DNA sequence: AAAATTTATTAACATACATCAATTTATTTA
DNA sequence: TAAATAAATTGATGTATGTTAATAAATTTT
């Protein structure tokens, strides 16, 4: 087969496609690489695309009126990244997305995603299931924000993202946990004593 | 037409179906009514069903090891209710679901939902879009837990659920906001002075 | 390698919210 | 309607985490 089916393999490893389907997939996904520090989305932008991460590390975060940052998500291999609050409602971004470690991603545009779902329904199923898992993860996160102390949330975090500490700064982690970098520092000190 | 298409109308109002499709829908959704106080799900149960709310009010909540309750979701008209953390992974419930106001729901079983999606792909699209909206709402909630004070979250809450205060107790709201009932009481007092 | 910059730590003090205990108000039951 | 129960409020005090400011450590740039 002469067609390039790398994309379909990288994103949909367990699914198999016809040549026509692979052509469609190749046409809607665009491979991009970004350097550490690149800003992929800024609050206020129109959100018309999503990124599927092949390699590297991204984060999405919100900046409040006082300039404080809140990390909503770290994006690593096989995760999707976008400002979902805006993406699903076609409004302006309230999130920022930045590259924490040099990244390779596949980008898909909003309008092409709906086209893709119509052309290849099993891809809609595939993403629906991914979304269900992400939804459940968010529900667990809400619960942990409601019920756990900062220390417990930090321990959960390093459990859930065992290798991420090399890619992200402590203040990124603090902003994900909803605490200050000083508080995280105290927690880390306390844990190192044990 | 002799077929009962109430269910399809109540749940999928904007979609239209063939007679065969309506038969399938009628076969997988089961209408139930529950009295206030009924426990629809207990932590530890197998989660094999979801509820679509036609009328009334439900809530899902988690109880931690110290017996404290955390409300993850209030369910009102046109919302789905389940323990999604368990539902999407076929594990035991960590949530409880209770009826706060006499409720009418449509129940669908896990296995029948996949069957339904296969038989009627546009229903999969329909639910996928609902899930996307719910996902975005959860993302906003995570953000508000990270960045807002209890008072601000309370104001957001009464804004988002303008009529819910009649259906739920203050301690339900407190457990949704992640604060104690005493703190909520103080916040309410402060707001009433203005 | 030195200098410059960014990130992490530490300390003193402030504050939002929790905890515990008592009391008042509202709702349900008899 | 009275009694019983559940829910909400209030006050005194405690604690986790925030704030501000200084310093130390790590990383990047020259």
Summarize pLDDT for A134-164 with one digit per residue, the tens: 999 999 999 999 999 999 999 999 999 988 8
User: CA geometry: angle at B55 spanning B155 and B141, to 5°?
Assistant: 30
Share the mean pLDDT of chain A.
91
The reported pLDDT for the residue numbered B107 is 96
Residues with CB under 7 A from strand D: A 149-151, 178-180, 182-183, 186-187; B 169-171, 181-182, 184-186, 188-189
Q: Is the pLDDT of residue B2 over 50?
A: no
Selecting from A70, A88, A132 the residue whose C-beta is nearest the C-beta of B146 gives A70
* Residue A75, domain extent: 6-114
Q: Is residue A22 part of a domain?
A: yes
CA B178 to C1' D18, in angstroms, rounded, equals 18
Quick one: closest CA in A to B124, which residue? A125
Q: Is residue A191 part of a domain?
A: no
d(C-alpha B120, C-alpha A124), whole Å: 13
Residues 129-168 of B with CB under 8 A from A: 129, 131-136, 138-143, 145-147
Classify residue A90 as exposed, middle or buried by CB count within 10 Å of its CB (0-12, 13-18, 19+): exposed
Residues B158-173 have pLDDT tens digits of 999 988 888 899 999 9
The answer to whether A59 and A23 have CB atoms below 8 angstroms apart is no
Q: Is residue A93 part of a domain?
A: yes
Q: Is residue A122 part of a domain?
A: no
No. of helices (H) and no. of strands (E), chain A: 8, 6
What would the DSSP string read from start to end of A91-145?
-B---EEEEEEEEEEEEEEHHHHHHHHHH-HHHHHHHHHHHHHHHHHHHHHHHHH
CA B87 to C1' C25, in angstroms, rounded, equals 41
Nucleotide with the nearest C1' to B181 CA = D8
The reported pLDDT for the residue numbered B82 is 92
Please identify which residue in the block is written with the tokens 């957001």: B156
Q: Is residue B128 part of a domain?
A: no
Number of domains in chain A: 1
d(C-alpha B121, C-alpha B114), whole Å: 10
The answer to whether B172 and B100 have CB atoms below 8 angstroms apart is yes
Q: Is the pLDDT of residue A87 over 80?
A: no
SS3 labels along chain B = CCCCCHHHHHHCCCCCCCHHHHHHHHHHCEEEEECCCCEEECCCCECCEEEEEEEEEEEEEEECCCCCEEEEEEECCCCEECCHHHHCCCCECCCEEEEEEEEEEEEEEHHHHHHHHHHCHHHHHHHHHHHHHHHHHHHHHHHHHHHCCHHHHHHHHHHHCCCHHHCCCHHHHHHHHCCCHHHHHHHHHHHHCC
Confidence of residue A106 (pLDDT cuts 50, 70, 90): very high
The reported pLDDT for the residue numbered A9 is 87
Q: Measured between CB atoms, does A67 come within 8 Å of chain B?
A: no
Confidence of residue A4 (pLDDT cuts 50, 70, 90): low
Provide the token pair at B176.
């949704």
Selecting from A88, A117, A136 the residue whose C-beta is nearest the C-beta of B88 gives A136
Provide the token pair at A127.
């993403």
d(C-alpha A82, C-alpha A50), whole Å: 5
The answer to whether A57 and A100 have CB atoms below 8 angstroms apart is yes
Provide the token pair at A74.
């770290």
Confidence of residue B90 (pLDDT cuts 50, 70, 90): low
Q: Is residue B133 part of a domain?
A: no
Residues with CB under 7 A from strand C: A 169-171, 181-182, 184-186, 188-189; B 149-151, 178-180, 182-183, 187
The reported pLDDT for the residue numbered B7 is 84
Selecting from B68, B140, B143 the residue whose C-beta is nearest the C-beta of A147 gives B68
The reply to whether residue A128 touches residue B133, judged by beta carbons under 8 angstroms, is no
Residue among B110, B187, B119, B112 nearest B155 (CA): B187
- Give residues with Cβ within 8 angstroms of A112, minimum separation 6: A28
3-state secondary structure of A60: strand
The reply to whether residue B84 touches residue A139, judged by beta carbons under 8 angstroms, is yes
Q: Is the pLDDT of residue A102 over 60?
A: yes
D chain positions with any atom within 7 Å of a protein CB: 7-12, 16-21
Nucleotide with the nearest C1' to A185 CA = C9
3-state secondary structure of A59: strand
d(C-alpha A97, C-alpha A181), whole Å: 20
The answer to whether B99 and B34 have CB atoms below 8 angstroms apart is yes
CATH code, domain carrying A19: 2.60.120.10
The answer to whether A107 and A29 have CB atoms below 8 angstroms apart is yes
Please identify which residue in the block is written with the tokens 């198999």: A16
The reply to whether residue B124 touches residue A127, judged by beta carbons under 8 angstroms, is no
Q: Is residue B163 part of a domain?
A: no
The reported pLDDT for the residue numbered A116 is 97
Q: Is residue B179 part of a domain?
A: no
Quick one: closest CA in B to A139, which residue? B85
Distance between alpha carbon A133 and the CA centroid of its chain, in Å?
13
d(C-alpha A44, C-alpha A96), whole Å: 9
Q: Is the pLDDT of residue B1 over 50?
A: no
CA distance A118 to chain B (A): 9
């Amino acid at each position: 087969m002469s067609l390039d089916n790398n994309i379909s393999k990288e994103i949909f490893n367990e699914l198999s496609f016809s040549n026509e389907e692979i052509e469609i997939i190749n046409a809607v996904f665009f491979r991009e690489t970004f350097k550490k520090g690149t800003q992929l989305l800024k609050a206020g932008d129109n959100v018309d695309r999503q990124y599927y991460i092949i390699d590297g590390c991204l984060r999405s975060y919100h900046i409040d009126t006082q300039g404080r940052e809140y990390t909503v998500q770290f994006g690593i291999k096989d995760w999707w990244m976008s400002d979902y609050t805006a993406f699903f409602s076609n409004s302006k971004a309230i999130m920022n997305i930045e590259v924490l470690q040099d990244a390779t991603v596949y980008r898909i545009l909003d309008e092409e995603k709906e086209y893709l779902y119509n052309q290849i329904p099993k891809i809609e199923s595939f993403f629906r299931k991914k979304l269900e898992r992400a939804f459940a993860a968010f529900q667990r996160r809400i619960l942990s924000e409601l019920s756990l102390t900062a220390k417990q949330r930090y321990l959960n975090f390093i459990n859930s993202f065992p290798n991420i500490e090399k890619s992200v700064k402590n203040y990124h982690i603090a902003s994900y946990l909803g605490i200050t970098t000083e508080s995280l520092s105290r927690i880390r000190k306390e844990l190192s004593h044990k």
